[in-house]
């Protein structure tokens, strides 16, 4: 199906991806169409190993090689200069290319079997919650003709995106690869896109990763007036108010929390709550990716 230009959803260790042949412009357009993704938001291309990644880049620096050796397969996406084999539509017209080798046996076997790079954003409608179970894909994108079911995603949050196209390199999106591990290999890393270069991080629109319910963040969820309609609580250390209906509890550590965050929000959406009161996650770098996703899920479209 992938060779024929169809889309196929597949599991990775981060979230489920909606894959298509990255070398086919028509196949890649199907991804944008199905997701309703703005054409300005570029896609990550998945490859089976570092050599396949290098072959798609126009420049493969020592830095790229060192990071690939250290973290691939794994939840790190590297943005490098784009080579000619990948059409511009994949990168929303940018001269760059985002690459990753996923650490999931099904994804790796698929990439090896199909023998083509696969463009694969998260398998959800644009701005909605990312899927961490095959079931989430089936419910969110019923028109996808094939979903490979690899069970629940181990990490549950999107990859960390680093641009190697700037000097020094920049973190474009915090994600599943902890920053302290990345920093140990890349001490010169700067946080956030280059000031005044908005096109460098197009996916970072304020509203993203959002459930249907309205999200309210508070350090003291029990004290919040949630307003009308059914209410859910997403808690970590605090107690719900007395008589609270729907309560989801997440682990206290950032990795455990991230792993179940989207699944918990999907469950709350399923339960039909109108508002979710979320206990604010802690400060500090270890919680940066979780704070980023919750912040985007909270912001309203302008
Ligand atoms: P998704 O696969 O849906 O999690 O989104 C892909 C993420 O990778 C978005 O945040 C994009 O902005 C980012 N991305 C993909 N390609 C590029 C690129 N060429 N330059 C910068 N960021 C990119
Ligand atoms: Mg996404």
Closest CA to 28 of 53, 7, 55: 7
In angstroms, the CA 162 to CA 189 distance is 9
Residue 200 lies in a domain: no
223 Cα–ligand 2 center, Å: 32
Q: Which atom of ligand 1 is nearest to the CA of 172?
A: 22
Q: Indicate whether 226 and 183 sit together in one domain.
A: no
Q: Indicate whether 12 and 102 sit together in one domain.
A: yes
Regarding the beta carbon of 108 and ligand 1, being less than 6 Å apart is answered no
Q: pLDDT tens, position by position, for the chain (302 residues)?
A: 999 999 999 999 999 999 999 999 999 999 999 999 999 999 999 999 999 999 999 999 999 999 999 999 999 999 999 999 999 999 999 999 999 999 999 999 999 999 999 999 999 999 899 999 999 999 999 999 999 999 999 999 999 999 999 999 999 999 999 999 999 999 999 998 888 765 555 555 566 677 889 999 999 999 999 999 999 999 999 999 998 889 999 999 999 999 999 999 999 999 999 999 999 999 999 999 999 999 988 865 43
Start-to-end C-alpha separation, the chain: 39
Residue 202 lies in a domain: no
- Residues, CB within 5 angstroms of ligand 2 (ion): 122
In angstroms, the CA 37 to CA 202 distance is 12
**CA–CA–CA angle 50, 48, 146 (5° rounding):** 155
Q: Which atom of ligand 1 is nearest to the CA of 91?
A: 19
Regarding the beta carbon of 14 and ligand 1, being less than 6 Å apart is answered no
- For residue 203, what pLDDT is reported? 55
Q: Which ligand sits nearest to residue 41's alpha carbon?
A: 1
Closest CA to 175 of 145, 202, 209, 136: 209
- For residue 204, what pLDDT is reported? 56
Q: Indicate whether 240 and 160 sit together in one domain.
A: no
Regarding the beta carbon of 122 and ligand 1, being less than 6 Å apart is answered yes
Distances (CA, A) of 171 to 201, 240, 256, 286: 10, 36, 22, 14
**E strands in the chain:** 8-10, 17-21, 44-46, 76-81, 96-100, 118-119, 160-163, 170-173, 190-191, 214-218, 231-235, 246-249, 275-279
- For residue 207, what pLDDT is reported? 63
Query: Which two structure tokens, joined as six digits, stand for 28?
Result: 């890649």
Q: What is the CATH number of the domain that holds 145?
A: 3.90.870.10
The answer to whether 24 touches 5, Cβ cutoff 8 Å, is yes
The answer to whether 32 touches 90, Cβ cutoff 8 Å, is no
In angstroms, the CA 234 to CA 260 distance is 11
Q: Indicate whether 41 and 171 sit together in one domain.
A: yes
pTM above 0.75, yes or no: yes
203 Cα–ligand 1 center, Å: 6
List the domain range (segments joined by +) for residue 250.
214-298
- For residue 50, what pLDDT is reported? 98
Residue 105 lies in a domain: yes
Q: Indicate whether 113 and 24 sit together in one domain.
A: yes
75 Cα–ligand 1 center, Å: 13
Q: Indicate whether 228 and 161 sit together in one domain.
A: no
131 Cα–ligand 1 center, Å: 17
Q: Indicate whether 294 and 180 sit together in one domain.
A: no
Residue 14 lies in a domain: yes
- For residue 196, what pLDDT is reported? 73
Distances (CA, A) of 114 to 8, 72, 135, 150: 12, 19, 24, 17
Q: Which ligand sits nearest to residue 204's alpha carbon?
A: 1
Regarding the beta carbon of 202 and ligand 1, being less than 6 Å apart is answered yes
Q: Indicate whether 252 and 180 sit together in one domain.
A: no
- For residue 179, what pLDDT is reported? 96
Cα torsion at 181, 187, 193, 195 (round to 10°)?
150
Regarding the beta carbon of 173 and ligand 1, being less than 6 Å apart is answered yes
Indicate the number of domains in the chain: 2
The answer to whether 229 touches 245, Cβ cutoff 8 Å, is no
């Amino acid at each position: 199906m992938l060779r024929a230009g169809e889309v196929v959803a597949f599991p990775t260790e981060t979230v489920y991806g909606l894959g298509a042949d990255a070398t086919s412009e028509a196949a890649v357009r199907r991804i944008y169409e199905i997701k309703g993704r703005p054409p300005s938001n570029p896609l990550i291309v998945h490859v089976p190993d570092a050599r396949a990644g290098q072959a798609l880049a126009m420049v493969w620096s020592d830095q790229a090689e060192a990071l690939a050796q250290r973290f691939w397969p794994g939840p790190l996406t590297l943005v490098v200069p784009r080579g000619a084999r990948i059409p511009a539509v994949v990168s929303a017209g940018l001269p760059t290319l985002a690459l990753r080798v996923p650490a999931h046996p099904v994804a790796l076997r698929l990439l090896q079997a199909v023998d083509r790079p696969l463009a694969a954003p998260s398998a959800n409608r644009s701005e909605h919650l990312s899927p961490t179970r095959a079931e989430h894909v089936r419910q969110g994108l019923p028109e996808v003709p094939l979903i490979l079911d690899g069970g629940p995603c181990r990490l549950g949050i999107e990859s960390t995106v680093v641009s190697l196209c700037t000097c020094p390199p920049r973190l474009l999106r915090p994600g599943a690869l902890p920053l302290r591990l990345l920093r140990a290999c890349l001490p010169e890393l700067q946080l956030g896109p280059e000031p005044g270069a908005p096109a460098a991080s197009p996916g970072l629109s304020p509203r993203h990763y959002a459930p249907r319910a309205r999200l309210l963040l508070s350090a003291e969820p029990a004290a919040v007036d949630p307003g009308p309609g059914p209410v859910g609580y997403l808690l970590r250390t605090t107690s719900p108010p007395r008589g609270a209906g729907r309560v989801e509890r997440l682990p206290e550590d950032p990795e455990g929390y991230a792993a179940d965050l989207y699944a918990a929000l999907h469950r709350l959406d399923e339960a039909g709550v109108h508002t979710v009161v979320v206990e604010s996650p802690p400060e500090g770098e270890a919680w940066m990716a979780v704070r980023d996703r919750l912040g985007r899920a909270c912001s309203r479209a302008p």
